[in-house]
Chain A
Amino acid sequence: MKKIYLMTMLLAFSMLSAFSQVNPFTLTGKVTDGKTNEILIGVSVHVQGTDKGATTDKNGNFSVKLNPGAVIVVSYIGYQNQQINIGDRKTLNIKLMPDPRQLSEVVINVGYGTQKVKEVTGAVGSITEKQMDHHALGDVNTSLQGKIAGLQITSNSGEPGAGATVRIRGASSINGSSQPLYIVDGVPINSDTYNGGLVDDASTFSPLSDLNPQDIASIEVLKDGTASIYGSRASNGVIIITTKSGKNAKKPEIQFSANGSVAALTRKIGMLNAPQFRSAYMDAVYNFTGAQTTKVSVIDSLHPYYSRNNNWQDLMYRTAFQYKADVSIKGAAKDNNINYFVSAGYKDIDPVIINTRFKQTYATAKLYYNISKAISGNTNFNISTNNYNRILTGLSNQSAIYQALSTMPVYAPYDPISGQIIPLLEGSKPNPIAISQLAANKIARWRMFGNQDFRVKLAKGLDFKTTLGLDYSNTEETNFTPQALLPQGQISSSYLTTGKNYSFINENTLNYNTTLNRNHHLTFLLGQSYQKFTDNNVNVVGKGLIDAKITTINGTSVVSLYNQNIEEYSLLSYFGRANYDYKGKYLFSAVMRADGSSRFGPQNKFGYFPSFSAGWRMSEEDWFKPLRFISDAKLRGSFGVTGNQSIGNYAWQGALSSAGTYLGNVAIVSNGVSNTSLRWETTKQVNIGLDLAFLEDRIRFTADAYLKKTSGLLFDVAVPGTTGYTTVPANFGNLENKGLEFTLSTLNIDRELKWNSTFTLSLNRNKVLSLPGNQDYRPNIYNMARVGEAAGVFYGLKALGVYANDADNVYQRDAATGVVTPYRQGSANGAVYKAGDVIWQDVNGDGIINDADLQVIGNPNPDFTGGFQNEFSYKNFTLSTLITYSFGNDVFNEVKRNLDASPYDQNLTTDQLRRWRKPGDITDVPRLVKTDPMLNYAISSRFVEDGSFIRIQNLALNYRIPAKALGRLKVSNAVVGFSVVNLFTFGSYTGYDPEVSSSTNALAVGVDRGSFPRTRTYNLSLNFSL
Chain B
Amino acid sequence: MKQQNHKIYGLILIALVFSFGCKRALDIDPTTSYSGSNFWTEPPQATAALYGAYTVLQGAMGPGSVLYGEGRADNVVLNPLALSSQTLNLLTNNLNSSLPVTSWNNFYRVINQCNLILKNTLEMKNKGLYSSKMADYNSVRGQAFAMRAFCYFYMTRIWGKLPLVTEPFLDANQPVSIPRADTAAVYTQIQADLDSASLAPIPASYATAPATRAQFTMGAVNAMYMDFYMWRHQYTKALDISQKIMSNSLYSLASLYNASSTVDYNVNPELIDNTAYAQMFTKGFSTESIFEVDYNFAERATRSFLITVYGDLGFQPFFKASGYLSSKFTSTDLRSKINFDTNSGIMKFFEKSGFVRGTQDDKNIIVYRLADILLLRAEALNKTGDVPGAMALVNQIRKRAGAAVYTDASFAGLNTDQIEDIILDERARELCFEGKRWFDLVRTGKASKVMQPINGLTKPENYLWPISLTEIRLNPSLDQNSYYQ
Contacts and interface: CB of A to CB of B under 8 A. Distances in A.
B210 A663 contact: yes
B103 A721 contact: yes
A596 B300 contact: no
Interface stretch (B228-236, B306-314, B408-416, B432-440): B306-314
A452 to B, nearest CB: 14
Interface stretch (A823-831, A864-872, A950-958, A1001-1009): A823-831
Contacts of B21: 528, 530, 572, 574
A528 B14 CA distance: 10
A106 interface: no
B52 A565 contact: no
Interface string B200-239: 0000000010110011000000000000000000000000
A374 B5 CA distance: 11
B52 A568 contact: no
Contacts of A566: 30-32
A459 B473 contact: no
B25 interface: yes
A933 B89 contact: yes
B249 interface: no
Contact of B169 (A662, A724, A730, A931): A724
Contacts of B468: 721
Contacts of A569: 28
A53 B36 CA distance: 72
Contacts of A841: none
B341 to A, nearest CB: 15
B6 A931 contact: no
A724 B111 contact: yes
B6 A666 contact: no
Contacts of B274: none
B315 A829 contact: no
Contact of A665 (B48, B88, B96, B297): B48
A20 interface: no
Interface in B1-55: 3, 6-7, 10, 13-14, 17-18, 20-21, 23, 25-37, 39, 45, 47-49, 51-55
Nearest to A510: B14
A290 interface: no
Given A720-B177, A935-B96, A558 B18 contact: no
A720 B462 CA distance: 24
Given A456-B10, A508-B17, A655-B33, A673 B170 contact: yes
Contacts of B210: 663
A558 B112 contact: no
B7 A653 contact: no
Contact of B48 (A565, A668, A717, A719): A668
Contacts of B214: 663
A664 B170 contact: no
A488 interface: yes
Contact of A489 (B6, B84, B361): B361
A567 B35 CA distance: 12
B266 interface: no
Nearest to A717: B172
B33 A565 contact: yes
Given A458-B10, A667-B55, A778-B473, A724 B108 contact: yes
Given A528-B21, A728-B172, A653 B29 contact: yes
Nearest to B106: A721
A557 B359 CA distance: 10
Given A558-B359, A665-B51, A721 B471 contact: yes
B26 A670 contact: no
Given A458-B7, A665-B48, A543 B358 contact: yes
Given A458-B6, A653-B35, A659 B56 contact: yes
Nearest to B114: A724
A506 B17 contact: yes
Contacts of B116: 670
B474 interface: yes
A565 B26 contact: no
A729 interface: yes
A889 B105 CA distance: 35
User: Which one of B21, B80, B298, B475 has the highest number of Cβ atoms from chain A below 10 Å of its Cβ?
Assistant: B21
A377 to B, nearest CB: 14
Contacts of B316: 427-428
B178 A489 contact: no
A489 B35 contact: no
B170 A674 contact: yes
Nearest to A784: B473
A510 B168 CA distance: 51
Contacts of A458: 6-7, 10
Contacts of B178: 720, 722
B301 interface: yes
Contacts of B13: 464, 466
B32 A668 contact: no
User: Which one of A532, A677, A720, A830 has the highest number of Cβ atoms from chain B below 10 Å of its Cβ?
Assistant: A720
Interface in A556-605: 557-558, 560-561, 564-570, 572, 574, 596-598, 605
A336 interface: no
A492 B359 CA distance: 10
Nearest to A597: B26
A931 B85 contact: yes
A8 interface: no
Interface size class of B (residues with CB under 8 A): 35 or more
Contact of A598 (B6, B27, B103, B462): B27
Nearest to B483: A829
Contacts of B459: 829
Contacts of A428: 315-316
Nearest to A831: B94
B250 interface: no
Contacts of B109: 669, 721, 724-725
A560 B297 CA distance: 8
Nearest to A931: B85
B85 A459 contact: no
Nearest to A507: B17
Given A656-B34, A661-B51, A722-B475, A489 B357 contact: yes
A668 B300 contact: no
B135 interface: no
A722 to B, nearest CB: 5
Given A561-B301, A670-B116, A654 B35 contact: yes
Contacts of B473: 776, 778, 851
A649 interface: yes
Contacts of A656: 33-36, 39, 49, 52
A900 B34 CA distance: 46
Given A564-B32, A723-B108, A932 B85 contact: yes
Contact of A829 (B35, B308, B462): B462
Interface of A: 288-289, 374, 427-428, 456-459, 464, 466, 483, 487-492, 506, 508, 510, 528, 530, 532, 541, 543-544, 557-558, 560-561, 564-570, 572, 574, 596-598, 605, 649-650, 653-670, 673-678, 717-726, 728-730, 775-776, 778, 825-831, 851, 903-904, 930-933, 935, 938
21 contacts: A428-B315, A457-B6, A489-B358, A530-B20, A558-B298, A560-B300, A560-B301, A572-B21, A598-B28, A656-B35, A663-B296, A667-B52, A668-B51, A674-B35, A677-B172, A720-B163, A722-B471, A730-B173, A829-B484, A903-B84, A933-B89
Given A541-B301, A657-B34, A662-B55, 8 more contacts: A289-B80, A557-B359, A605-B23, A653-B35, A661-B51, A723-B112, A724-B112, A728-B172
Interface of B: 3, 6-7, 10, 13-14, 17-18, 20-21, 23, 25-37, 39, 45, 47-49, 51-56, 58, 80-81, 83-85, 88-89, 92, 94, 96-98, 103-105, 108-109, 111-113, 115-116, 163, 165, 168-174, 176-178, 208, 210-211, 214-215, 294, 296-302, 307-308, 313-316, 357-359, 361, 459, 462, 468-476, 478, 483-485
A-B pairs, 7 with minimum CB distance: A724-B112, A491-B358, A560-B301, A721-B105, A675-B172, A657-B33, A654-B36
